[in-house]
Amino acid sequence: MLSLDAEVKEFFERGGSAKFGEVEVQKEVMEILHARGIEKFYKHQADGIKRVKRGENVVVTAPTASGKTEVYLVPIIEGALRGERSIVIYPTKALSRDQLSRFREFGLLGVKSEVYDGDTSAHVRERIRKEPPHVLITNMDMLHFILLNSHLFKNFLSSLKYVVIDEIHIYTGTFGSHSSNIIKRLRRVHSKYSKNKLQFICSSATVGNAQEFAEQLVGLPFSLVDARYAPRSTVKHILLNPPLTNDGRESYTTLALKVARQLIGKGRKLLIFGNSHSVVERIGIVARETNLDGIKIYRAGLEREERRKLEQEFKCGSTDALVTTSALELGMDIGAVDSVILAGFPGTVTRVRQRIGRAGRRGREAKAVFIARDNPLDQYYFENPHEYLKGEPESCYINPQNEFILKPHLLSMMRDYPASMDEILSFPMGEKLFSELKAEEMCKEFAGCWIPTKKGLRAVQGMNIRSAGSVVRIYDVEAEKFIGEREEAMAYSELFPGAIYLHGGEKFVSERLDLEKKTAFVRKLGYETSEYTVALRNREAEVTEVLGERDSLGGELSYGRVHISDEVYGYVVKDYLKERVSSRIPLQEPLRYEFDTLAVWFDFPEEVVFSVDDFPAGLHAVEHVSIAMMPALTGADPSELGGVSYPAGRMYVYDSTPHGAGLSKIIFEKFERVERMAYERLRKCRCQRGCPSCILDPQCGNNNRNLNKEAAKQILEKLNK
């Protein structure tokens, strides 16, 4: 029992024993698996291997440590012994290096495995191209470059059989939309070098639409294998809500370290998950300042040697705890873990399960501690612990038909292998995009086909597969150098003149933003401050095309294309230690950004609009708390959604990505669930007029003015009757 000054809820999640199945595997492959301690296969492993052997594309939904690797490992190794090759795509370079050792265990059988990514040296890359391995381990970014230079990989591609995409739930939104186009380009290039059919094996955490999403990502039919038959440890769940003080809630990071102090020592090992680099760094700094020895920071961005050192120290027990972001959420081998702390809800139930799954291996009871932050979603799950553990998993989403994403991939396709006019015209929006590329002198005719010009080649080589649309280049005026870039859709609200901008752990102040030339000029702040800036904005939405309509909660719910006009007219300066506004500053010239995207909008019933006092302020509050609930069902970051509400009774929620990332469609399908969650949060929040735990949004473009919590409760109560 933890001894803490906090509101506490505890319950047990009982473990389960494994169920086994049978599948025929080559004797020499099985002998190496025996050496690893694998004597027989779980039922989902056997089912998955059988389906792959029958030639099906398979997606395996599996929690952490459920043995999903064997579902693709066995077919890949048996294929290698027949002379077939495979690509295995992991979401991170660290995971690629970690998993390489699993494949190299089969080197005794003559199976060669290599990693080909940004950390691979030039001479090793050249060797891989000349002497292709049986198993090539890479990531989606590097696969894009492999395809651009496909002629160098002709020998490998001609005998390619299996493509594995691990952790496909990572490939959502803009990144997933790019990835879908890269996979389709891979299928095209492979068809140029081989008459054989590619076979795909995907793995995923437990999400709401794994089979549908795999089919959308790859463009082929899939069979679903559910890893429900893997063994599970018993988990003791402890949910903590920091106590309220006169200045608000106690810091959740401080409480996380108080918990850590009670969970480590005597050989016990702990992972502390934070939801951002800054949170992880802050926990690490406070741990050092309070002499909490044995806690170290592990996150993306560390040098590979430093990461490996930390992994080994944690495995051998010289380090008691690692404070980490999602870097250790995936299947990295770091040995047994006794407890995990979730410093804040990670956005989705799936990520909760992934993080909890890191503890309690080898049949031992695990402790999983969730510490709620002072925001609507965290407080909702603290008040509804069953939803925290057993709630509906989010659905993954992509929009590979996004025009801004399609265009660079059409140009990339021409570089992968010269494109015929038939291929160009059969490409989605091919005729329109091809005309634009020709007009921009990005492509040229070559031997009856089309290839990129030098200008086009520079464009595809510099393409960022984690963004859509134009980017703004950022320059440090003192150092006189380029320091980074930001998507245009975000730049106008983060880099306006006077904005405090964080980059590489340092604070800058923006001096000038030129949206026409897509450039921003910043200067290092030069002094320590706890201040930050928030844009003040006016938003308008206009429907351009209705794609779907249905009745919902007594009103009418619609989904379609909209035109968004977003104007930044000023900003406020806030102190994050006191959460108070210190100044309010208008811009000399407002910045206006307009774009087309996808949205869902709800027309509230007239009896609700006219029966609730101060309906407009109540609707504004409903918009805030509704959007706060949506990441749990979509897996989206809150910044990927925007909202506009009108006093007459219409509320819009739109994709912040120009031309849409696919979020709005999920919200259209799950709108009733969103509003039930929003009502529960307002009903159970104990504040009187509104607080960060319910309706206050730190990024509100109106600085949280014109909000009415009581009116919002009445609106949602009437809808949810």
pTM of the model: 0.85
Spatial distance between the Cα atoms of 593 and 524, rounded to a whole number of angstroms: 26
pLDDT of residue 298: 87
Both tokens assigned to 130: 């000349």
Radius of gyration of the chain (CA): 26
Residue-level pLDDT at 179: 96
| Domain ranges across the chain | 7-11+232-390, 20-226, 403-461, 468-529, 535-719
Q: What is the pLDDT of residue 362?
A: 58
Residues 560 and 598: beta-carbon distance below 8 Å: yes
Share of the chain above pLDDT 70, in %: 98
With respect to CATH, is domain 20-226 assigned 3.40.50.300? yes
Q: Which regions of the chain are under pLDDT 70?
A: 1, 247, 300-301, 331, 361-363, 504-505, 576-579
**387-445 per-position pLDDT tens digit:** 888 777 888 889 899 988 999 999 999 999 999 999 999 999 999 999 999 999 999 99
pLDDT value of position 249: 79
629 token code pair: 């609930």
Supply 19's token pair. 């169920």
Residue the block writes with tokens 């599996």: 62
Asked if residues 306 and 296 have their Cβ atoms less than 8 Å apart, the reply is no
Token readout for 141 is: 């970014």
Determine whether domain 7-11+232-390 maps to CATH 3.40.50.300. yes
Asked if the domains at 7-11+232-390 and 20-226 fall in one CATH topology, the answer is yes
Instruction: Enter the tokens of residue 512.
Output: 């000038």
Residue pair 251/320 in contact (Cβ under 8 Å)? The answer is: no
Look at residue 301 in the predicted model and tell me its pLDDT: 64
The sign one gets for the Cα dihedral 285, 286, 289, 292 is negative
The partner residues of 560 in beta bridges, in order of sequence, read 546, 599
Q: What is the pLDDT of residue 552?
A: 97
Q: What is the DSSP letter of 15?
A: -
